[in-house]
Amino acid sequence: MIRLFTIPLIVTLATAVPALSQQADTAEPEADRAETAATENTPSQAETSDNLSQRAAQSQREVGADWPFWGGDAQATRYSPLDQIQPQNVGQLEKVFTFHTGDMPEGSAEGKYSPEVTPLKIGSDLIMCSAMNILISVDAATGEENWRFDPGVSNDAIPYGATCRGVSVYTDPEAPEDAPCATRVIEGTLDARLVAVDLATGSPCADFGDNGSVDLWQGIGERVPGWYAVTAPAAIVRGIVVTGAQVKDGQAEDAPSGVIRGYDAVTGELAWAWDLAAPEQNRNGPAEGEVYTRGTPNMWTTAVADEALGYVYLPMGNSSVDYYGSNRTEAENEYATSLVALDATTGEEVWHFQTVRHDVWDYDLGSQATLLDYQGTPAVLLPSKQGDIYILNRETGAPLTPVGELSDLPKGEIEPDFISDTQPFSEWHTLRKPPLEEKDMWGFTPIDQLWCRIQFRMANYDGFFTPPSSDKPWIQYPGYNGGSDWGSVAVDTERGIIVANYNDVPNYNRLVPRDEVTSKPINEQEAASDGGAKAEGAADPQAGAPYGINVNAGWRNDVTGVPCTRPPYGGIRAIDLATGETLWDRPLGTARRNGPFGIPSMLPFDIGTPNNGGSVVTAGGLVFIAAATDNLFRAIDIETGETLWSTVLPAGGQANPITYEVDGRQYVMVTAMGHHFMETPVGDEVIAWALPQQ
């Protein structure tokens, strides 16, 4: 009889719970437009540019056999025209190679790894960066290493996590084909450098900056390791390398500038800077002894560029102090959480589109925007963290799909004059689910569900955009990891389908009065004393604001680690590009790795876990995605949403996969390297699969 009492425990342990915690233009018209734009632009640029060819539109590498851009093609569709692997044969995929980067966390980097890397495939090589920015070239067919270059980034440079999402490649049209660095790999590093090496050899490009390296700390101010770090691949447009940087969230009002800068891809010289609070004064860099405007919104994610127009589209985040806004400037308010189109030849703003007014929820734009043709108009598709999907005119920023307006929103007691009582939302498509109700609370027994219901009732919650509060916690739903994050969406330009994976997770937050704040901003800490071990926003000081912030990311039960809201916590959806209607929608991620107290339940059911990392869609009719916390890499039928093939990765697959071709054989590849915030195991594997050779 007594033994029977262990059954509830076993059953409840087994109870699965998550751990957490068109491009319609074909390449040819694009190239045509590029040429037209080039001829149009050449005369006007001749006066301002010392290097004419660097400012003219160049033809872009095409996706197919290669995967030449982080987002696949220059339009960032993550769509591949390869079709050898199809729903009928995907079940036969076999592993071709596993490559180990050898970059595993050591010392103070333990618990801070979140590599997220997506290699490029150019010619016969895969080019990638490791978590700590080691550049590596690998044979795309065999996985054998060609070369590596270690820029020597030290552990103390790790901001929130050791992340290098990828690299960019640039071919100098002026250079002879076999000249060193005619084609170069450019990487932004965690210690804020731009590094350029030769694609073929990995040798630093002597002509780029200081022997292959440009110091991005120029004009930023006090050099504090980890405060200012590049984690995303640069966009390269008209020969200009455009980069922002991650300014560590939640530290201080007086944080490094979110300035966006363009550098000559050949020489590494500063071409322009866009300091949103002082665009004119600081266009060529700040005056001697001055710095770019501090504390401004930054871009930590990946931009996309329209080479023909010469525009670059910047998904901006918000100011360093995310959850309090009364002392932000007008310029910050204007550009925070906006997509900004800059003319990359001049660094001047063309237009911007704001997705959140007076953002005090850390709803940074995390996704790379995608360029496509929408009903005959060159457009840019913008996914947001609230789950809204907007389609805008690429040249003017005017919405091409309906944008609605939420009104009479709650203003709260902390800063009612600052909180906007209206917010835009997409009437065309949103991944966002309805507001939470008490019955949405979860747990694995009635007792923890009851405790979550009590927490629900004790918190401030008035639906979307509930303003921050301090006397009581407030529920933020979707949370800052909700909707679309840096994995972005994929667009099947042939079938006219958007594939969007998303998170569906709230945060449980509280503003902490200044006198109760115990954490120090990064510039006042002992070196590297603060880690990425805690979730972003958990006990951030927000120095200079009246409140610090405490975020319970994923709103998890303190004792069991089980989320307070019912599954699914993440899903994947196919959306008809013509109508904005959902074609299918399903939970993404099984319960196999998750369970209370961190014990894996081994359950194969699709519970829908949080997921970070995007998908690739192929002409073969498949969606390849890892992303979820179950460490599975799967192939999904784009027509039905059904999983046709899956394989267990040796570590977390929080990275965008790619597909490419070598000698007529199609490969799919993803990196399994884990993610500290997603609580997946760390690894260093780069794994490729293909169909058996005939």
Partner 1 sequence: MTVPPDHPDRHKTVWGVKILGWLCILLGAVLLAGGVWLIVLGGSWYYGLSGLGLFLTGLLLNRYRTEAVGLYLLVWIGTVGWAWWEVGNDWWAQVPRLVAPSIILVLVLLCTPALSRHASKRLAGSS
- The CA angle 645-646-648, to the nearest 5 degrees, is 160
Report the site for partner 1 in 363-422 (rule: CB under 8 A). none
Q: How far apart are CA 69 and CA 67, in angstroms?
A: 6
Q: What share of the chain is helix, strand, coil (3-state, %, to 5)?
A: 10, 30, 55
Give the per-residue SS3 of 503-544. ECCCEEEEEEEHHHCCCCCHHHCCCCCCCCCCCCCCCECCEC
* Residue pair 277/258 in contact by the 8 Å Cβ criterion: no
Out of 15, 84, 86, 401, the residue judged to bind partner 1 by CB under 8 A: 15
Out of 225, 387, 443, 541, the residue judged to bind partner 1 by CB under 8 A: 443
Per CB under 8 A, does 8 bind partner 1?
yes
Sign of CA dihedral 351, 354, 357, 360: negative
Per CB under 8 A, does 558 bind partner 1?
no
Out of 121, 261, 453, 593, the residue judged to bind partner 1 by CB under 8 A: 453
Residue range at the interface with partner 1 (CB under 8 A); choices 75-83, 96-104, 414-422, 434-442: 434-442
Residue range at the interface with partner 1 (CB under 8 A); choices 106-114, 417-425, 436-444, 492-500: 436-444
Per CB under 8 A, does 188 bind partner 1?
no
Out of 179, 287, 450, 648, the residue judged to bind partner 1 by CB under 8 A: 450
Out of 454, 533, 578, 602, the residue judged to bind partner 1 by CB under 8 A: 454
* Residue pair 662/65 in contact by the 8 Å Cβ criterion: yes
9's enclosing H/E stretch is: helix 6-14
Per CB under 8 A, does 445 bind partner 1?
yes
Out of 449, 493, 615, 629, the residue judged to bind partner 1 by CB under 8 A: 449
Residue range at the interface with partner 1 (CB under 8 A); choices 168-176, 198-206, 435-443, 538-546: 435-443
Active site (annotated) includes residue 606? no
Of 563 and 613, the one with the shorter C-beta distance to partner 1 is 563
- Strand 79-80, strand 615-618: pairing: parallel
Per CB under 8 A, does 559 bind partner 1?
no
What six digits make up the tokens of 659?
A: 């597909």
Q: Least distance to partner 1 from the beta carbon of 610, Å? A: 15
* Residue pair 108/156 in contact by the 8 Å Cβ criterion: yes
Report the site for partner 1 in 593-612 (rule: CB under 8 A). 607
644 backbone φψ class: left, alpha, beta (φ>0; ψ -120 to 50):
alpha
Residue range at the interface with partner 1 (CB under 8 A); choices 275-283, 385-393, 447-455, 657-665: 447-455
Per CB under 8 A, does 526 bind partner 1?
no
- The CA angle 318-321-324, to the nearest 5 degrees, is 95
Residue range at the interface with partner 1 (CB under 8 A); choices 12-20, 193-201, 217-225, 656-664: 12-20
Out of 12, 51, 86, 525, the residue judged to bind partner 1 by CB under 8 A: 12
Give the per-residue SS3 of 47-103. HHCCCHHHHCCCCCCCCCCCECECCECCCCCCEECCCCCCCCCHHHCEEEEEEECCC
Q: Least distance to partner 1 from the beta carbon of 466, Å? A: 17
Cα torsion 172, 173, 174, 179 to 10°: value is 50
Binding mask 458-497 for partner 1 (x = CB under 8 A): x---------------------------------------
The type of residue at 689 is W
Out of 62, 307, 448, 530, the residue judged to bind partner 1 by CB under 8 A: 448
Cα–Cα distances (Å) from 339 to 277, 297, 358, 368, 577, in that order, read 16, 12, 15, 10, 20
Of 424 and 568, the one with the shorter C-beta distance to partner 1 is 568
Q: Least distance to partner 1 from the beta carbon of 463, Å? A: 17
Out of 11, 46, 206, 648, the residue judged to bind partner 1 by CB under 8 A: 11
Paired residues of 261 in beta bridges: 243, 273
Q: How far apart are CA 232 and CA 235, in angstroms?
A: 9
What six digits make up the tokens of 226?
A: 């980890």
Q: Which of 362, 485, 492, 606 is catalytic?
A: 362
What six digits make up the tokens of 503?
A: 């998170």
Out of 150, 438, 581, 642, the residue judged to bind partner 1 by CB under 8 A: 438
Binding mask 153-182 for partner 1 (x = CB under 8 A): ------------------------------
Q: How far apart are CA 671 and CA 688, in angstroms?
A: 9
Q: Least distance to partner 1 from the beta carbon of 600, Å? A: 17
Of 224 and 459, the one with the shorter C-beta distance to partner 1 is 459
Out of 2, 405, 434, 664, the residue judged to bind partner 1 by CB under 8 A: 2
Paired residues of 378 in beta bridges: 373
Which residue, among 293, 286, 391, 304, has the nearest Cα to 335 in the 3D structure? 293
Q: Least distance to partner 1 from the beta carbon of 332, Å? A: 38
Q: Least distance to partner 1 from the beta carbon of 457, Å? A: 4
Of 15 and 98, the one with the shorter C-beta distance to partner 1 is 15
Q: Least distance to partner 1 from the beta carbon of 608, Å? A: 8
Task: Please tell me the count of residues contacting partner 1 according to CB under 8 A.
Answer: 32
Residue range at the interface with partner 1 (CB under 8 A); choices 34-42, 389-397, 432-440, 513-521: 432-440
Sign of CA dihedral 174, 178, 179, 182: positive
Q: Least distance to partner 1 from the beta carbon of 535, Å? A: 23
* Residue pair 618/82 in contact by the 8 Å Cβ criterion: yes
Q: Least distance to partner 1 from the beta carbon of 16, Å? A: 8
Q: Least distance to partner 1 from the beta carbon of 13, Å? A: 11
What six digits make up the tokens of 50?
A: 């010392």
Report the site for partner 1 in 560-589 (rule: CB under 8 A). 566-568
Residue 488 DSSP symbol: -
Contact set with partner 1 (CB under 8 A) = 1-2, 4-5, 7-8, 11-12, 15-16, 438-440, 442-451, 453-454, 456-458, 566-568, 607
Q: Looking at the annotation, which residues are catalytic?
A: 362
